Amino acid sequence: MKKAVFAGGCFWCIESDLIKLEGVIQVVSGYIGGTKASANYEAVCSGLTDHREAVLVTYDETLISYKELVEYFFTCIDPTNPYGQFADIGDQYKTAIYYSDEKEKETALKSKAELDQSGRFKDPVVTEILEISDFYQAEDYHQKYYEKNADHYKRYRIGSGREGFIQINWGDKR
């Protein structure tokens, strides 16, 4: 099994999107990239730790490649928003793809460049490609939130603007 980390705004939404893919074994919500030695929801939401909400994906590379994960991740976000994602604004909601080796870095950079040059968006793709750092698992009540609190999650996903954006911009790829 391989692992990959993605930051795409609200981790509930990224978790619920990526777990649907064949070959994805597990998706864990958490925090990455901060300057503090630990992370929790309250601290990260304060914006003072420099962590981002993210997901740790465990996948079977015989069923899905890292490249396919990266390309699908782009369909789950607005890769042109430098301030966060949809209703969630702040550094903790900025998008990023985290790599663990040079091959992953090259794959992510190439995918980003191809999307940027595709003409799909009028604004540039700003999703960062960053070296992986410590990942801190989020609190239990955040894990599988889309299942545990399905009604609230659906209202949030629609109300935040994420669902409409994805349908308009990525409907042909999902």
CA distances from 169 to 24, 48, 77, 156, 159 (A): 24, 33, 10, 19, 17
What's the rounded mean pLDDT across residues 40-56? 91
CA distances from 153 to 35, 60, 85, 145 (A): 30, 27, 16, 7
Within the chain, strands assigned E span 2-8, 24-32, 52-59, 84-85, 88-89, 95-99, 128-131, 135-137
In the residue annotation, 45 being an active-site residue is answered as no
- The CATH number assigned to the domain holding 74 equals 3.30.1060.10
Domain count along the chain = 1
Residue 33 binned pLDDT confidence (cut-offs 50, 70, 90) = very high
Residue 174: the pLDDT is 65
Residue 47: the pLDDT is 83
Residue 171: the pLDDT is 84
Residue 5 binned pLDDT confidence (cut-offs 50, 70, 90) = very high
Domain that holds residue 113: 2-173
Residue 37: the pLDDT is 82
Residue 150: the pLDDT is 96
Looking at 10, 13, 45, 76, which residue is catalytic? 10
Please give the residue that has the higher pLDDT: either 135 or 172.
Answer: 135
Are β-strands 95-99 and 128-131 bridged in parallel, bridged antiparallel, or unpaired? parallel
| Dihedral (CA of 24, 35, 111, 105) sign | negative
Residue 172: the pLDDT is 74
Residue 132 binned pLDDT confidence (cut-offs 50, 70, 90) = very high
* Confidence check: pLDDT of 151 > 70: yes
What's the rounded mean pLDDT across residues 8-31? 97
What's the rounded mean pLDDT across residues 70-91? 96
What's the rounded mean pLDDT across residues 85-95? 95
